A and B are shown apart, each in its own frame.
Chain A
Amino acid sequence: MTTETTPLPTPGEDFMAEGEPRQDLAVEQVSDATRPDQWWQVVWSSKKARVGIGIVAVYVVVAVFAPLIAPHDPLDSSFVPLAGPSSTNWLGTTTSGQDIASQLIYGARISLLVGLFAGLIATVIATVIGMISGYAEGTILDDLLSFVTNVALVIPALPLIITLVAYSEVRGIWLIVGVISITSWAGAARAKRAQIITLRNRDFVTAAKFSGEGTWRIVFREIMPNMTSLVAASFVGAATGAIAAEAGLAALGLGDSQSVSWGTMLYQSNAQGAIAQGLWLWVFVPGLVLAILMTAMTFINFGVDLLSNPHLREDA
């Protein structure tokens, strides 16, 4: 891919090549890029992924240095309420006199934390269940794990998450991370099960069996390294979904009560009638930064898909 930016694709080259079918994930794919530095090159070769990584990097910097960047404390309500944008309050203030810009900056922390940890936990659950189930294909263990996976897949997540969170007295960020993780692993587990089934009869697995390696070692040390790209893709996907779920929960008033997230900003603005009072910035900005972050993560996944599916790689 060339470095110049072309807004529209030239005929003959599929501009969406990166987003091409993932059905063949399970078919054939011991990736030829097996070392981490090579993965990075492959992902970086995608222009979309470069844009995505750049945007996420900005969000991470903002989240980490929030206290330095934000002009005020996000919960400080000493400003004039309902003020428009000014040099003190860049995006104006809320009905209770809080600085919208500072809330926005601190909000990045919640979204990224939830994305990181809920994404990690969901990926670990999906990997363990999917791998064991796939390696044990045809046994009772597989039937049981597959059933659990299918049940978790078909139950609509948001009503379940809402019910679970509504029961807890203290709604800390870790509760939200935990609840989102345990309700969002099923799709990824199914993909991993499908893939390990294609891998488990390969020669290197047979060789490992004959050399007397234990099942756990075969599954997690021999086979899993071949699936790293799928694991990485499912992490990015799970993190994106977790960020959306947190925003949805918080927008319903079920967010962490101790901190400010973009979802809680939306909840507050809706509850305080921001729209009816014409305070559109208060509503518009949190949703926009959320959408940009999620688009950036989707773009990164286009790059990660190249790892697992060499057919998609653009001629570099």
Chain B
Amino acid sequence: MTYVARKFGFFIATLWAVVTLNFLIPRLQPGDPAEIMVKRLAGKDAALDPAQVKAMRAMLGAPDGSLWNQYVTYLGELVHGNFGLSYTYYPYSVTEVIGQAFWWTVVLVVFTQVVSFVVGVVLGAYAAWRRNSRLDSVVTLGSTFLGTLQPFWIGLLLLYVFGYTVGWFPTSGGYEEATPGFNWPFIQEAVSHSFLPALALLIVTPIGWILGMRNTMIMNLGEDYIRLAKAKGLPDRHVALKYAARNALLPSVTGFALALGGVLGGAILVETVFDYPGLGRLMGEAVENKDYPLLQTLMLLTTAGVLVANLAADLLYGVLDPRARRAEG
């Protein structure tokens, strides 16, 4: 129980730290943040529009109040899910804009993450089991090089080859004419539009799992219980899967959330390249248009997503490995 409480405690504390960071970032600059932002938005020499400054202040909290009062107001707004209006998509609220893009990214990232995990763990385990074989050398040396490629660059190349030169896949957007919703034409269009972005991520993202799994598996293969299993005359397959791989999987579970952060980072750029209608492209647009309410909410949302995944991975790890509960609890 202590283990679970500890992990929940860390989750809450981290979430608080991120929320506070999000509050402090716009206030790090000297001067009245609302005026500065409006000025930046309208151009240096333009006159300040009082209405805009007021709207900005509404987002940033009471301008005259102390930092503490602003902080309390800010927390109150967060609790009520009030993130302000987006400049880019005025007069829509940030929540509405994000709601449109949310599932595009969730589907893309979750699909990529799950496929990477499965492919990476299977390849890594197989490479370790057939250590020094030709397949092992291809997998490990190939991973070292592929791991340094940038997903957005791969995306640009895929776009050039499969989008423009061969023309197998659409070059931008998320769908064409179909009405978004749960209907076959839309799903077809969405899948063909998501194919290249997913591929761009999938060339890089399994690498961490492959190398990690291979290393742990090789360490585990040297353990006594493996020798015992072999001495008992268990078939190779059984030793590899039920003994070595099963234990080697454990550290991969804790790496899940950290890897998710990486996939999200890659997705921001890949979505921009493919003009994919998800949160990443939205973040790119928010940067370009200096849409601070949107940008900050996106930062908060992606971070919170990773924190939740981290909590889930920690809790799962506690269930899978009793030693973790005992050691920390």
- Give me the interface of A with B, judged by CB distance under 8 Å: 8-9, 11-16, 19-23, 147, 150-151, 153-160, 162-164, 166-167, 169, 240, 244, 247-248, 251-254, 266, 269-270, 275-276, 278, 280, 283-284, 286-287, 290-291, 294-295, 298-299
Contact segment of B59-67, B86-94, B291-299: B291-299
Which residues of B sit under 8 angstroms from A278, Cβ to Cβ?
Answer: 164
Per DSSP, are chain B's interface residues mostly helix, strand or loop, or mixed? Answer: helix
3 pairs of A and B residues whose beta carbons are closest in the complex: A156-B261, A287-B153, A158-B265
Which residues from A are CB-within-8-Å of B152?
248, 251, 266
Stretch at the interface among B173-181, B234-242, B301-309: B301-309
Contact B302 A156, beta carbon cutoff 8 Å: yes
Q: Which of A19, A151, A155, A253 contacts B211 (CB 8 A)?
A: A19
A90 to B218, CA, bound (A): 48
A150–B265 contact, CB under 8 A? Answer: no
The answer to whether A166 touches B269, judged by C-beta atoms less than 8 angstroms apart, is: no
Binds A, one of B95-103, B111-119, B143-151, B183-191: B143-151
Q: Is the CB of A156 within 8 A of B144?
A: no
Restricting to B18-77, which residues have a CB under 8 Å from any CB of A?
A: 18, 21, 25-26, 28-29, 40
Smallest beta-carbon distance B27→chain A, Å: 10
In the complex, 7 of the A-B residue pairs with CB atoms within 8 angstroms, ordered by the A residue number, are A20-B215, A150-B10, A162-B268, A163-B299, A275-B163, A287-B149, A287-B156
- A114 vs B19: C-alpha distance when bound (angstroms): 29
Complex Cα–Cα for A160 and B156 (A): 24
Query: Roughly how many angstroms separate A167 CA and B149 CA in the complex, as a whole number?
Result: 28
Measured CB to CB, the closest approach of chain A to B170, in angstroms, equals 13
C-alpha spacing A53/B95, complex, angstroms: 50
Q: Report A-chain residues with C-beta under 8 Å of the C-beta of B141.
A: 16
Instruction: Tell me how far the C-beta of A31 lies from the nearest C-beta in chain B, rounded to whole angstroms.
Output: 21
Q: A159-B268, A287-B156 are in contact. Are A248 and B164 (CB under 8 A)?
A: no
Q: Please indicate the chain A residues that have their CB under 8 angstroms from the CB of B136 in the complex.
A: 16
A19 touches B264 (CB 8 A): no
Q: Is A156 in contact with B310, judged by CB distance below 8 angstroms?
A: no
Taking a contact as CB atoms under 8 Å apart, the answer to whether A270 and B273 are in contact is: yes
List the B residue with the shortest CB-CB distance to A163.
Answer: B299
Give the CA-CA distance A8 to B164 in the complex, in Å.
37
Contact A252 B272 (CB under 8 A): yes
Chain B residues in the interface with A (C-beta under 8 A): 10, 13-14, 17-18, 21, 25-26, 28-29, 40, 131-132, 134, 136-137, 140-141, 144-145, 147-150, 152-153, 156-157, 159-160, 163-164, 171, 211, 215-216, 218-219, 257-258, 260-262, 264-265, 268-269, 272-273, 283-284, 286-288, 290, 292, 295-296, 298-299, 302-303, 306-307, 310
CA distance A283 to B165 in the complex (A): 15
Q: In the bound complex, do residue A283 and residue B216 qualify as a contact, i.e. CB atoms below 8 Å apart?
A: no
Contact B150 A287 (CB under 8 A): yes
The interface residues of chain A lying within 8 Å CB-to-CB of B298 are 159
Q: Which residues of B contact A164 (CB under 8 A)?
A: 25
Q: Which residues of B contact A160 (CB under 8 A)?
A: 21, 299, 303
How many Å from the CB of B48 to the closest CB on chain A?
17
Which of B171, B216, B264, B290 is the one whose CB lies under 8 Å from A156?
Answer: B264
The answer for the CA separation of A278 and B159 in the assembled complex, in Å, is 11
On chain B, the residues within 8 Å of A12 by CB distance are: 132
| A283 CA / B148 CA spacing, docked (Å) | 17
> Which one of B29, B219, B268, B290 lies within 8 Å of A252 (CB-CB)?
B268
CB distance from B13 to the nearest CB of A (A): 7
The answer to whether B216 touches A21 (Cβ under 8 A) is yes
Contact indicator B268/A266 (Cβ below 8 Å) = no
Q: Smallest distance from the beta carbon of B78 to chain A beta carbons, Å?
A: 16
Query: Chain A contacts of B306 at CB under 8 A?
Result: 154-156
Q: Which of B150, B164, B218, B283 is in CB contact (< 8 Å) with A247?
A: B150
Complex: chain A residue closest to B306, CB-CB: A156
Q: Are A8 and B144 in contact (CB under 8 A)?
A: no
Known: A164-B25, A270-B156, A283-B156. A156 touches B295 (CB 8 A): no
> For the complex, what is the distance from the CA of A299 to the CA of B157, rounded to whole Å?
25
**Contacts known (A159-B302, A290-B153); A252 close to B265, Cβ less than 8 A:** no
- Residue numbers in B under 8 Å from A166 (CB-CB): 286-287, 290, 292, 295
Contact B148 A294 (CB under 8 A): yes
> In the complex, how many angstroms separate the beta carbon of B268 from the nearest chain A beta carbon?
6
B residues in contact with A286, CB < 8 Å: 153
**Contact B132–A9 (Cβ < 8 Å):** yes
- A158 near B264 with CB under 8 A, answer yes
- In whole angstroms, what is the CA distance A243 to B219 when docked? 31
Q: Kindly identify which residue among B148, B153, B171, B307 contacts A154, using a CB–CB cutoff of 8 Å.
A: B307
